[in-house]
Chain A
Amino acid sequence: MSTLIDILLLSLMGITALAAVRMKSLFGAVMLTGIFSLLSALWFLILDAVDVSFTEAAVGAGISTVLMLGTLSLTKSEEKTSNHSQIIPLFVVFVTGGVLIYGTLDMPDFADPLAPIHTHVAPHYIEKSGAEIGVPNIVTSVLASYRGFDTLGEVTVIFTAGVGVLLLLGIGRRREDGDE
Chain B
Amino acid sequence: MIAHLPALQIVLPLIAAPLCVLLRTTRLVWLLAFAVTVASFGIAVELYSQVLQYGVISYAMGGWAPPIGIEYRVDQFNALMLILITAVATVVLLFARTSVAKEVDQRRQPLFWAAWLLCFTGLLGIVITGDAFNVFVFLEVSSLSTYALIACARDRRAITSAYQYLIMGTIGATFILIGIGLLYMLTGTLNMADLAARLPGVTESRTLKTAFVFIVVGCSLKLALFPLHLWMPNAYAYAPSAVTAFIAATATKVAIYVMLRFFFTIFGADFSFGAMPLGQVLMVLSVIAMFSGSLVAIYEQNVKRMLAYSSVAQIGYITLGISLATTTGLAAGMLHLFNHAMIKAALFMAMGAVVYRLGSCRLDQMAGLAKQMPWTMAAFVAGGLSLIGVPLTTGFVSKWYLVNAAFDAGWTIIPVAILGSSLLAVIYIWKVVETAYMRLPPADQKPVQEAPLALLIPLWIMVAANFFFGIQGNLLWQSVLQAARQLSGEI
A108 CB → nearest B CB, Å: 7
Is A149 within 8 A of B134, CB to CB? yes
Given contacts A160-B144, A160-B148, contact A167 B185 (CB under 8 A): no
Is B141 within 8 A of A147, CB to CB? no
B486 CB → nearest A CB, Å: 25
Asked whether A124 is an interface residue with its Cβ less than 8 Å from the other chain, the reply is: yes
Given contacts A104-B207, A117-B185, A120-B67, contact A149 B62 (CB under 8 A): yes
Given contacts A121-B67, A180-B105, contact A99 B213 (CB under 8 A): yes
Asked whether A154 is an interface residue with its Cβ less than 8 Å from the other chain, the reply is: yes
Given contacts A103-B210, A156-B118, contact A167 B188 (CB under 8 A): no
Asked whether A78 is an interface residue with its Cβ less than 8 Å from the other chain, the reply is: no
Contact of A106 among B67, B121, B207 (CB under 8 A): B207
Given contacts A108-B185, A160-B141, A167-B151, contact A103 B206 (CB under 8 A): yes
Given contacts A116-B187, A120-B187, contact A156 B121 (CB under 8 A): yes
Instruction: Show the binding face of A for B, using Cβ within 8 Å.
Output: 99-100, 102-108, 115-122, 124-125, 145-150, 152-154, 156-157, 159-161, 163-164, 166-168, 179-180
- Using A146-B62, A148-B62, A153-B125 as known contacts, list a sample of 10 further A-B pairs with CB atoms less than 8 Å apart, ordered by residue number in A: A99-B213, A100-B178, A102-B210, A105-B206, A107-B182, A120-B67, A125-B68, A164-B144, A164-B145, A167-B112
Q: Which residues of A contact B133 (CB under 8 A)?
A: 147, 150
A146 and B112 alpha carbons, distance in the complex (Å) = 33
The segment out of B13-21, B246-254, B281-289, B308-316 that lies at the interface is: B13-21
Is A163 within 8 A of B14, CB to CB? no
B32 CB → nearest A CB, Å: 15
Given contacts A107-B207, A116-B185, A159-B17, contact A147 B140 (CB under 8 A): no
Nearest 6 A-B pairs (CB), nearest first? A103-B210, A120-B188, A164-B148, A153-B137, A116-B188, A117-B188
Is A147 within 8 A of B207, CB to CB? no
A147 CB → nearest B CB, Å: 6
Given contacts A99-B213, A103-B206, A116-B186, contact A160 B118 (CB under 8 A): yes
Q: Which residues of A contact B198 (CB under 8 A)?
A: 116, 120
Is B137 within 8 A of A115, CB to CB? no
Is B140 within 8 A of A157, CB to CB? yes
Q: Which residues of B contact A147 (CB under 8 A)?
A: 69-70, 133
A163 and B188 alpha carbons, distance in the complex (Å) = 35
Is B107 within 8 A of A179, CB to CB? yes
Is B185 within 8 A of A163, CB to CB? no
Asked whether B355 is an interface residue with its Cβ less than 8 Å from the other chain, the reply is: no
13 A-B contact pairs sorted by A residue (CB < 8 Å): A99-B214, A103-B211, A105-B206, A107-B182, A107-B185, A117-B184, A117-B188, A124-B68, A148-B61, A152-B14, A156-B14, A163-B148, A167-B152
A150 and B62 alpha carbons, distance in the complex (Å) = 11
Q: Which residues of B contact A160 (CB under 8 A)?
A: 115, 118, 141, 144-145, 148
Considering the complex, give the chain B residue whose CB is closest to the CB of A151.
B137
Asked whether B48 is an interface residue with its Cβ less than 8 Å from the other chain, the reply is: no
A120 and B190 alpha carbons, distance in the complex (Å) = 11
Given contacts A106-B207, A148-B61, A156-B14, contact A161 B185 (CB under 8 A): no
Considering the complex, give the chain B residue whose CB is closest to the CB of A165.
B148
Contact of A156 among B21, B67, B70, B141 (CB under 8 A): B141
A102 and B141 alpha carbons, distance in the complex (Å) = 32
Q: Which residues of A contact B186 (CB under 8 A)?
A: 116
Is A103 within 8 A of B209, CB to CB? yes
Q: Which residues of A contact B67 (CB under 8 A)?
A: 120-121
Considering the complex, give the chain A residue whose CB is closest to the CB of B70.
A149
Asked whether B138 is an interface residue with its Cβ less than 8 Å from the other chain, the reply is: yes
In this complex, which of A107, A121, A148, A163 has the most chain B Cβ atoms within 10 angstroms of its Cβ?
A: A163
Q: Which residues of A contact B255 (CB under 8 A)?
A: none
Q: Which residues of A contact B148 (CB under 8 A)?
A: 160, 163-164, 167-168
In this complex, which of B69, B209, B214 has the most chain A Cβ atoms within 10 angstroms of its Cβ?
A: B69
Is B118 within 8 A of A150, CB to CB? no
A103 and B179 alpha carbons, distance in the complex (Å) = 10
Given contacts A103-B209, A107-B207, A156-B14, contact A149 B61 (CB under 8 A): yes
Interface residues of B in 127-154 (CB under 8 A from A): 131, 133-134, 137-138, 140-141, 144-145, 147-148, 151-152, 154
Is B141 within 8 A of A153, CB to CB? yes
Is A154 within 8 A of B112, CB to CB? no
Q: Which residues of B contact A159 (CB under 8 A)?
A: 17-18, 118
In this complex, which of A115, A118, A164 has the most chain B Cβ atoms within 10 angstroms of its Cβ?
A: A164
Interface residues of B in 39-74 (CB under 8 A from A): 61-62, 64, 67-70
Is B182 within 8 A of A167, CB to CB? no
Is A164 within 8 A of B115, CB to CB? yes
Q: Which residues of B contact A154 (CB under 8 A)?
A: 137
Asked whether B177 is an interface residue with its Cβ less than 8 Å from the other chain, the reply is: no
A125 and B68 alpha carbons, distance in the complex (Å) = 8
